[in-house]
Structures are given as structure tokens and as C-alpha cells.
Structure 1
Amino acid sequence: MDRKELPSGLRDDKITEETKSLISSLPSHTESQGHKICKYQGCWYYYNALQGVLNFQRGFQPRDTDIILASYPKSGTTWLKALTVALLERSKNHSSDDQHPLLSDNPHEIVPFLEINLYVESSSPVLAKFSSVPRLFSTHMPLHAMQETLKDSPCKIVYVCRNVKDTLVSWWFFRCAIHKIEPDRSILESMFKSFCNGTIYYGPFWDHLLSYWRGSLEDPKHVLFMRYEELKAEPRDQIKRLADFLGCPFTKEEEENGLVQKILDLCSLRNLSGLEVNKTGKRNNLDHKYYFRKGEVGDWKNHLTPEIENKLDMIIKEKLKGSGLKF
């Protein structure tokens, strides 16, 4: 596959000479698909993504009202974006329902990634379109990569995590989709090995989890830790928890009028995946449809061997030991 056909985050066409020099001094690794990643501040990045991280760290100016939606890739990012947009849109009076942004735009278009989209080319991008309050951004960076930049800022961070086995399977299908190849077992096994030793995009997985878990314990007013499985099992309770954290709780009248369920229906996988913009749209060489697959809890049982299951369970139990975080 031509590298120019890849999503921008997987390429290496945006890096500066300064960043090339930095990369030459960093631990590096080549993935099974031939993409190079390097380890910076404890996290593995593709080169373009690293450039975005560096630009973000140099240039981002947080506002007190900013909201940053964070996740490890394939952990419920699209759903969290949609739910948050829907919660914040309640304050706007659309003259008709079809004016809702989620009906005409993909959640990733509405809430772009800081390091993959906005800051990949410059440390001072034009953020004019983020004129509304609050500004809404997203990231796959671990929390420690943002802490110095966000120091003393009261902006809110929402992190969604997912069981490592479902994350691995979702990542596998997504990687094969963007490379336009059939889901191959050899790729899954290679990704499994990378998950286990931590040398995977935005890995190690457990360090990513723990950065936000500890952040939520130390600063619960500014960091909310959510679980994908709880969102699936208790969607009403969890979306109300999210609304409370963001400072836009549901009123009694809104609940009585069924608004909680309306938002859940609007943001459901079935509804979003059926919209024309998500069936045929594209951004940065990536088809919107690839963001919507099954969204199920436990789909890993259909794809992982008992050996892979046990190895992942053992590693996660060991890595999270003593943290209070369990799966």
C-alpha cells in the first residue's frame, strides 16, 4: 500500500529536521506492517504522531473551559465523542432536529485529535473554528504527556478504557481495514506480541491506563475515568455521570421528557453507522465506516485462543497489581 494512502497519523511526511534528530536518539521498532515507531517519554508513537505530540507540548494554550476526551485507540473513542457532543448540544436551540452536527458530520470530524490532526503540522495551528465554549478536543496521548502543558489548568479530561482483549481485536480489524487487507491471523498474533511487550502504537497499554487511573484518583474534579463495559451495561447511569462531571447535568424536566434515552438512541452504533456521512464519508484517507464495527463486549471470545487470553490476563493482572484498577 502506498504510504500516501495511509491515514496521516501512520505516515512520516510531517516531521521536521529537529524531530528527525530527536528520533535518531530514541528507542525504535518496526511493526509487522513495516511502520516505524519510536519511544518518547515512555510511549510509542508513529513519527507523524510524535511530531504532533511535540507541537502540542510546545504550543497548546489551554483554556479553563476546555474538555479533552482521551482514550487508548479502539477503546470506545467514537462513542465517547458522540455522547459528549450530544450532551453539550442540548444548550443549543436547533430549529430542526436534522441540524444536529452528529447527523451531518462524523464524531472524529467534530472532535479532532490534538496530536494526530490539529498539531501535526504546526505548534500554532489556527483554532478559529473552536470559538464556542467549551472547546472540545480529543487525544490518544497518555496523561503524563499532557501534564506539563496543562499544568495549573482546570480543564476537564474524560478517559474511556476498555478490556485489553476487546481492544486488541478491535485494533486488529481496524488495522486490516485501513490497510485494505483481510483480517489475517498472523497480523493478530504479531499485534498480540506487541501488546505483551508494550511496543505498540501508544503503548504500553497498561501504562496508558494507569496514567489516567492515577490522575482520576489524584484529581477527580478534573479527570474522569470511565469504562466501556460500564457504558454498555449501565448507559443511562454512565451518561448522567458524564454530564455531571462536565457541569451540564440533566434537569428533572429533561429526564422526564426522555432526553437521556434520546441521546443514547442518537449516539447508538446502529444509528451512527447508518448515517450517510458515516457510510460514505472520509477524512485523512480514512473511511468513516471503519470507525463502526460491532461495539460489543466480549467479542474477543470469537477470535482469541485460550493461550492468548490467559497470557493477556496474566500480564494485565501483573502490571496493574497494587493500583486498585481491575478488569
Structure 2
Amino acid sequence: MVNILEVVHDESLPKENWWGKNCVCQINDFWFLPKFLPSTIRVLNEFKPLPNDVILASFPKTGTTWLKSLVFSIVNRSSKESLVKHNPHDLVPTLEVQVFGTTHQSSSITTHDESHSTRLYSTHIPYQLLGNTFHSSNCRVIYITRNPKDTLVSMWHFTNKWKDADQDGPWHLEEAIEKFCSGVFPGGPYYDHVMGFRKASLEKPKNIFSITYEELMKDTKIHVKRLAEFLGCPFMNDEEVDEIVKNCSFDILSSYEVNKSGDFPSWFQVPYNSFFRQGVVGDHKNYLDAKTIERIDALTRDKFHGAGFMYGI
């Protein structure tokens, strides 16, 4: 096991190429983009959650943008105007990207008492590394996951919209498949990431809420109600729920100018419009052949079904 306190000064971390000349670095069996390694270490060493904090956790490209808009709207009931003017990732900043990254100062979240308000953050850091931080307070965590095949295809599309994609050359789907299956993937291995939070949610259901993208898509209203109850702010009537579901729908969110913008945020190398592609279930069928689908399904049976999580196929 790597000593987290020493990682920032250690140049001997395992490294692997995952796309062209781009590499990922390994800490305790998980892979991270080098750009966010120092800020990830800062989160692990410095972040002290407050009891009322809500952390939205996820593997990359599993429904994070939608979950951010929904949870922000649940906590801030009169939030439609904020969603019109701000991308969901600016409303719910990511700990290792914005909050502890180079564009923001983490001191702003620790120097004043906000113990009676709800602070919303997100993270892609696996539970296996961040679990002790969650245990240090009574904060609540919401974890969303998505079918592995759709996750892979979404990440492939997303990566090819990066600012350096033209310079590095396209990330070919065949290479993306190999890297995903081997676990050498930003945030990966995917299956370990999901199971870390899955097991924790079963052990600590009052603090960790786990949901799948497919569940949320199938009956958004029911699960928005469940999320509100988990967060301690249940709805008084169905009209409030309907309004949030409507305002956070893919069609509505993707129609706002801020989310159609080709501008790049200061905190990542993709344009804002990259966060809104299709928002559907089963898109992998348009890109993966039968052999690849069976290959990933075999992994899913082993990693998920073998552990009692009947999901992903």
C-alpha cells in the first residue's frame, strides 16, 4: 500500500499509457490522471467534511452531471434560475478538480463555520481511499453507477472532445475497450470502484445512498423523492417533484446556452457542451460488437454477479 502522505513527492508510482502519450498513475490499485494527482492527495489529507455536507460520488461518465442538477435542485428548491445560468459542474464542484485544484483555494471551505448549511461537492475518488474521510463525520454520500458498456462508450466520446485530442490523435474505440477491460482507465478499475461504494452503502445505508443511472432513468420521480428523504428534506407535494424532474431533464438542461457553450471551463479540458451528449440507456449497442459485449458481460458476471450485485447485463 502506498503511503498517501508521501505520494506527492514520489516519482516511482506505477504508470501506464491509456491513450496515445497520455498516462495514468496508480495509487493503491486505482488509476489517476497525473494532472489531478496533487489535488487528489490534498483531498485525502486535508478535506474535513462537516456533518451536513453531501458528497456526490461516481466513476467518470456514469450520470454525474444529471445527479448534480437533481441534488442541487432538491437542496435548493428555488434553483431553476441557477440551472439556467450555470453548468451543474459549477454549481456542485468536484473536490479533486475545482475545490482542491489549482483554480480554487480549499481554505474557502474550511475557514468559516457552515455547520448548519448544506455544502454540495462531488468526487471520482474511490471509496477504498476516501472511506476514512467519510467516517470522520456524519456527512451523507450519494453514489451513482451506470452499465459498464454505456460507461465505456460515454468515456470514449468524452475523451475525444478533450482540448488535446487533435494533437494526441483520436482515442480509438478498440484501445478504449482494452484499457477499460484491463482496468487501466481514469478512475479505474471500474468494477472495484463500484463495488467499494456498493458494499459501503449496504453497511451504512443511513449515510451512503447508492443508485444506478438506469433506475433513475426508469422512474425519476420516485427516486427524486427517495433522494429528498435521504437528505432530510422531503417534498410536501408532488408538484414540487414534478417541477424538479422537468427542470433537470436532459432536453431542458441541454437547451440552456451555458450547456450548449463551446467554451472551456477553467478546471478541465473539455467544452461545456461535452457534458450533454445523449443521456440515454443502451447507447453501447450502437458501437460495440457482439464479441465485445460478451467480453464485458463476462467481466460483469465475475465482478458484480459473483459478489451478489446482479447488475450490468
Q: Does 1:302 align with 2:289?
A: no
Aligned match of 1:10: none
Q: CA deviation at 1:167?
A: 0.6
Aligned match of 2:212: 227
AA at the equivalent of 1:85 = F
Q: Does 1:118 align with 2:99?
A: yes
Whole-angstrom distance in 2 between the partners of 1:28 and 1:35:
10
The 8 Å contact of residues 320 and 326 in structure 1, kept in 2 or not, is answered as yes
Of residues 299, 303, 308, the one that matches 1:319 is 303
Secondary structure of 1:157's partner?
Answer: strand
The 8 Å contact of residues 59 and 123 in structure 1, kept in 2 or not, is answered as no
For structure 1, which segment, 312-321 or 128-137, has the greater mean C-alpha deviation from structure 2 after superposition?
A: 128-137
Aligned match of 1:275: 256
The 8 Å contact of residues 48 and 136 in structure 2, kept in 1 or not, is answered as no
CA RMSD of aligned residues (A): 2.2
Structure 1 residue runs of 4 or more that deviate by more than 3 Å after TM superposition: 18-21, 121-125, 128-132
The 8 Å contact of residues 48 and 116 in structure 1, kept in 2 or not, is answered as no
Q: Does 1:161 align with 2:142?
A: no
AA at the equivalent of 2:12 = S
Q: Count residues with an aligned counterpart.
A: 298
Q: Does 1:198 align with 2:186?
A: no
For structure 1, which segment, 112-121 or 169-178, has the greater mean C-alpha deviation from structure 2 after superposition?
A: 112-121
Cα deviation code 1:248-301 (max 9, x no counterpart): 1111xx21xx22111111001111111011112531243111000111101111
Whole-angstrom distance in 2 between the partners of 1:282 and 1:130:
33
Relative distance call for 1:123 and 1:53 in structure 2 (3 A) is: farther
Unaligned runs of 5+ in 2: 1-5
AA at the equivalent of 1:261 = D
Whole-angstrom distance in 1 between the partners of 2:242 and 2:279:
18
Secondary structure of 2:279's partner?
Answer: coil
Unaligned runs of 5+ in 1: 1-17
AA at the equivalent of 1:32 = W
Relative distance call for 1:291 and 1:218 in structure 2 (3 A) is: same
Q: CA deviation at 1:199?
A: 0.7
Q: CA deviation at 1:52?
A: 1.4
Relative distance call for 1:316 and 1:123 in structure 2 (3 A) is: farther
The 8 Å contact of residues 58 and 123 in structure 1, kept in 2 or not, is answered as no
Q: Does 1:247 align with 2:229?
A: no
Identity among equivalent positions (%) equals: 35
TM-score by length of 2: 0.89
Cα deviation code 1:35-68 (max 9, x no counterpart): 1211102210011222111101111111000000
Secondary structure of 1:29's partner?
Answer: strand
Aligned match of 1:172: 156
Whole-angstrom distance in 1 between the partners of 2:218 and 2:302:
26
Aligned match of 1:27: 14
TM-score by length of 1: 0.85
Cα deviation code 1:130-161 (max 9, x no counterpart): 95810000001111211222223110000000
For structure 1, which segment, 284-293 or 156-165, has the greater mean C-alpha deviation from structure 2 after superposition?
A: 284-293
For structure 1, which segment, 131-140 or 216-225, has the greater mean C-alpha deviation from structure 2 after superposition?
A: 131-140
